[in-house]
Amino acid sequence: MLITSSIFIDFFILLVTAVYVLHIYISNKYKYWKKRGVYFPKPKPFVGNFLDVILLKKHSSEWIKDLYDQIDKDFFGVYVFDDAYFVAKDPNLIKNILVKNFSHFVNRNIASPEHSPCIAHMLFFQKGLPWKTGRSKITVALTSGKMKSMFPLLLESAENLVNFLEKNNQDVWEAKELFAKYATDVISKCFFGINSHSFENFDSKFTILRRKVFGFSFRNIFAQTIYFFKPSWVQRFKIEFVDKEVMEYFSEVFMASLKARETKNSRYSDLIDIMNELKKTKEVRVDGTDDVIFCGAALQFFFAGFETTSSAIAFTLYEFAVNVDIQKAAREEVRTVIEKYEGISNEAVNDLPYLDMCLNETLRKYPVLPFLERNCTEDFPVPNSDVVIEKGTAVLIPTLGLHLDKNLFPDPHKYDPERFRNKINTTNGLSYIPFGDGPRNCLGERFGRMAAKLALVSIINNFEVTKCSTTPIPIIIEPKCLLIESKGGLPLRFTRLH
Ligand code: HEM
């Protein structure tokens, strides 16, 4: 039935009415923080405060960091589209959220998609009780004893790395890509029980699929941003976190390794053996459901371990190339320790305080996961204020903002490992959180640190790392990625030492 005599005028009236109703709805949503007396920057219609990220003008971490720098409050509100997010800035409040009052913030805000069971079974995405059960099972696989038994596998990968560099007649390497090979080798051996052939075959299936997950693509940045910042759309539009082919391949490889190892009775001391061992000793009950949990866990290690570990190594070597004295001091320490322990052993790698300081400083300047996020699971009254974070509210913690705050870390853009000579004091809250904190912190911290240090030891003991003509100075963060990446990569020169 027509409203007027013209279909075009009817259409125009309907359009204007729809836009008006939507505008009223969104304007009401944008009153959320005002009603609660929380400061917020003025939102734009429909997109809230998120326009620069949507237009790929800013990386999400820079967006949060810029707000952190501009707003001089202990906490504030922002709008991502029409969702209200609480941003915690004060280190004491952050400690409250992550550690002291963890029971109010058990879950991450990220989507946990029912249509993608393996992703939904990864710890990072899990919520509530399934997360708690999954975490306690998987933690058993990463105790210091189990880590020690994985050391020979890690060492083998570090040797493969050195051999690869020696064999190839090339001195300039894209560091991120080079250490992705190493991380592929380490993780496929330790968590999948297979050889990825990443050093032998430039385009092994593992490498191709890794690029599909972590390479720059509009599909990836769109899907991954929606998972983190608009989780309600994930279920509604059945959005996949990564390409289905990737998930299917890794699930098949992992389950096949688990089954094959069960029958062959071989021993590699990797996650596969550890899981089969756990099955036998009934330390955990393994049935059909647990298979999915374990599959999620193995894939979780792939997702959580690859990028983080390879970035930590590549950024450290970048800083070593720019700060030659620091590289020299780190090499001297490494060589003294190798002499003391007569080789590279688990004990030797754990006896490198200066290299630890360097890695800490790298993760301060480049926290690979540049923000943390939680969802409030129980109303939480913010201490020393009248504000209550209501159940269901998304909470953001701006790691990059904290790490580059000149009041917390003077001269924050300077690479200075000496900041970490003494242990960071956490009595006044949490300001250094590259691995998160509290019961939901990074489960692979020890593994990640060990793998990164072993690669650094092997490289600086054998090679001088220097800038080349294309090394970017300073680094610009690539906005088309979720994690911190250098725009234009990290090309570095590796010269063999004698
Ligand atoms: C330098 C390397 C790494 C960095 C900087 C890093 C950083 C992080 C951060 C910031 C989180 C979120 C913590 C939070 O929300 O409080 C996280 C979670 C996690 N990471 Fe790592 N990570 C690294 C390596 C690894 C590795 C090698 C593994 C696996 C072996 C791993 C497994 C995990 C898992 C399973 C979670 C989710 C924990 C949970 O929700 O209970 N990470 N990581």
Cβ atoms within 10 A of the Cβ of 78, count?
A: 23
C-beta of 436 in contact with ligand 1 (< 6 A): yes
Parallel, antiparallel or unpaired: strands 83-88 and 394-397: parallel
Rounded (10°) CA dihedral 197, 451, 145, 299:
-60
> Which are the contacts of 348, defined by CB distance < 8 A and separation ≥ 6?
337, 338, 340, 341, 457
Residue identifier of the C-alpha nearest atom 28 of ligand 1: 444
In whole angstroms, how far apart are CA 388 and each of 101, 155, 395, 411?
A: 13, 50, 12, 35
> Which pLDDT tens digit goes with each residue over 462-493?
999 999 999 999 998 877 777 888 888 999 99
Alpha-carbon separation of residue 409 from 30, 63, 108, 417 (angstroms): 34, 20, 27, 12
Residues 224 and 481: their CA atoms lie apart, in Å, by: 9
CA 441 – ligand 1 centroid, Å: 7
User: How many angstroms is it from 308 CA to the middle of ligand 1?
Assistant: 8
C-beta of 372 in contact with ligand 1 (< 6 A): yes
Exposure class string for 85-95: b at 16+ Cβ within 10 A, else e: bbbbbbbbbbb
Taking every pair of Cα atoms in the chain, the longest distance, rounded to a whole number of angstroms, is 93
Mean pLDDT of the chain: 86
Q: To test ligand 1's pocket by mutation, which of 395, 442, 482 has the most ligand atoms within 8 angstroms of CB?
A: 442
> For position 190, what pLDDT does the model report?
82
Q: Looking at 115-230, which runs of residues are DSSP E strands?
A: 172-174
Looking at residue 417, the DSSP 8-state letter turns out to be G
Query: Which tens digit of pLDDT belongs to each residue from 120-156?
Result: 888 899 999 888 887 887 787 777 787 888 899 899 9
| Å from CA of 42 to ligand 1 middle | 34
* Ligand 1 close to Cβ of residue 296 (< 6 A): no
Q: Is 203's pLDDT higher than 70?
A: no
Instruction: Return the residue whose CA atom lies nearest to atom 17 of ligand 1.
Output: 442
Distance CA 441, CA 372 (A): 10
**Least confident among 95-109, 180-194, 340-354:** 180-194
Q: In Å, how far are 37, 312, 356, 415 from 362, measured between CA atoms?
A: 38, 7, 10, 8
Of the candidates 175, 206, 176, 203, the one whose C-alpha atom is nearest the C-alpha of residue 188 is 206
Residues in the chain, how many?
498
Residue 266, pLDDT score: 56
Backbone angles phi, psi at 180, to 5 degrees: -70, -35
Whether residue 291 has pLDDT greater than 70: no
Q: Is the CB of 368 under 6 A from ligand 1?
A: yes
First-to-last CA distance in the chain? 87
Residue 308 CB–ligand 1 contact under 6 Å: yes
Handedness of CA 345, 350, 353, 358 (dihedral sign): positive
Calculate the CA 147 to chain-centre distance.
Answer: 21
Stretch 402-412: mean pLDDT, rounded? 95
Q: How far is CA 120 from the centre of its chain?
A: 17
Cα dihedral 453/195/444/279 (nearest 10)? -140
Give pLDDT tens digits for 363-385: 999 999 989 999 999 999 999 99
**315-366 tens-digit pLDDT:** 999 999 999 999 999 999 999 999 999 999 999 999 999 999 999 999 999 9
Output the pLDDT for position 286: 41
In order of their start, the domains of the chain are: 20-496 (1.10.630.10)
Which amino acids are annotated as binding site for heme, given as ranges?
442
Whether 183 is in the pocket of ligand 1, judged by its Cβ within 6 Å, is no
- ipTM score of complex: 0.99
For helices 205-214 and 244-264, what crossing angle results, to 10°?
140
Phi, psi of 79, deg, nearest 5? -120, 130
Output the CA 7–ligand 1 centroid distance in Å. 57
Most confident stretch, 199-213, 256-270, 356-370: 356-370
C-alpha 340, offset from chain centre: 35
